Chains A and B, each alone.
Chain A
């Protein structure tokens, strides 16, 4: 099951590209330029092979049987958990497999909502939850729903005109009533990288739990959850070379073991009687039912792949592409970046607006040139409203994109302007 990994002395983007079968396909007779990675990434052969060989040779349900395949499948599943834990600088028992990052946030929010009075996780009227105005809906709506259920109050850190968090009122917005501060590591729409240390320091001062949305950071840079100092962290597999259907909630073990369950069912129990049940410790406590097994194995293969290429080198490669794109857009008239327009404290997702052309039309026109970008509100409606746009066009690069592709996009933007202004 060991994946064959690229041996790259220096960053060889062609060698990386050769691992991704889909990158050779054409769209409208033109080479595919895939710049929709913040939405979902493509998959390398090593990940596809790992999942396939697991299913072909070792598949069974996990944690349920004594037969050979059951044991092999359980070993593979738990070994995947260890791989992901190591990828995050965490302990094996602290990694909960979920469907995606969205489920991870809902898990924490529902668990807190299930906590009885007197529990450290209980929320009620007078308590507060703090988020930011740049949250993806996945890390916003579950907290709105939690506040509705419990009577707690939702607060949020606003944004500056240049796409950063406005921390002027941090000490007011995160206060002794704040029970949890949930915020995004790198914004999926603005590309902004947030100052985790500053926010965690304030949360600790007031005794608030912290949850970090790592959906856009874990795929692109080395993440050490212990060094970040947060209490919870989540990622989703499909944005980091793994299949859809697998995500991760990481949480500090003592918290996970004390939190009430989210979903009930098989696997998450200790003793079940008709009169009531007791629950298993984490991570099983939060993995009710048959989990996503082969997808977990594939996620581990994706972690192995990213580490073999080198997350620091991937980050450096993406930063060069992002700088090229930001510079290129900056040189074009009638195009503006929505979000930070320099590479400092920023990820690879670049949202932009072309004067007088709706993003939907931009995306459709770029598609005709073989260029895949995302258009819309990117599940961040409040951000669009904050910057006075209904939607944006977003280009987001990853480890397999090239400088030549960024040039194709920049030329494509000019072509779009010409078509829509004639």
Chain B
């Protein structure tokens, strides 16, 4: 099978052995996101404290791309400042929308560069973004809630 450009070994590794999977306490916000075109779904929890993403945990059902991408995402955001993690998220989004035209920055995206090939398959971009969008949503809610509580 020749679709190695899509199914990079890094992606297959994360798919078979996902990082930070399972739902954990404590958490601030839990979200549930679905991809209505294929039925993939993810339940994701975020804990934010002191402007830092303390933990991201998740339970999902989906294809190799969506599961591996969520796993890579947790590596890239846990322990990082919210602002830095959001910038990483934007960089991943830009890569996914690049249709193969963008050279990913390994310093920023680490294992995420393995998804560069996915951007050439528009039908799969939503798979790769499922976990990221859930994280972004949950984190924004967590930040808004803590800002509201402080005021």
Contacts and interface: CB of A to CB of B under 8 A. Distances in A.
Contacts of B38: 359-360, 375-377, 390-391
Contacts of A11: none
A365 interface: yes
Contacts of A358: 62-64
Contacts of A416: 1
A368 B64 contact: no
B37 A376 contact: yes
B50 interface: no
Q: Give the interface size class of chain A.
A: 10 to 19
B6 A364 contact: yes
Interface in B1-23: 1-3, 6-7
A30 B20 CA distance: 40
Interface size range of chain B in the complex: 10 to 19
Contacts, number: 49
A390 B41 contact: yes
Nearest to A385: B39
B62 to A, nearest CB: 7
Contacts of A376: 37-39
A391 B39 contact: yes
A390 B121 contact: no
Contact of B3 (A365, A375, A384, A390): A365
Interface string A349-369: 000000000111100110011
Given A384-B39, A390-B40, A368 B1 contact: yes
Most A C-beta atoms less than 10 A away, residue of B2, B6, B39, B62? B39
B87 interface: no
Contacts of A419: 1, 7
Interface string B54-74: 000000011111000000000
Interface string B114-138: 0000000100100100000000000
Contacts of A359: 38, 63
B63 A361 contact: yes
Contacts of B7: 361, 419
Contacts of A28: 2
A416 B2 CA distance: 11
A359 B35 CA distance: 14
B64 A361 contact: yes
Interface in B100-151: 121, 124, 127
Given A361-B65, A376-B37, A376-B38, 6 more contacts: A360-B64, A361-B7, A368-B1, A368-B2, A381-B39, A390-B40
Q: Which 10 A-B pairs have the closest CB atoms?
A: A360-B63, A358-B63, A390-B39, A377-B39, A368-B3, A419-B1, A391-B39, A376-B38, A361-B64, A390-B61
Interface of A: 28, 358-361, 364-365, 368-369, 375-377, 381, 384, 390-391, 415-416, 419
Interface of B: 1-3, 6-7, 37-41, 61-65, 121, 124, 127
15 contacts: A358-B63, A358-B64, A360-B38, A360-B64, A361-B64, A361-B65, A365-B1, A368-B1, A376-B38, A377-B39, A384-B39, A390-B38, A390-B39, A390-B40, A419-B1
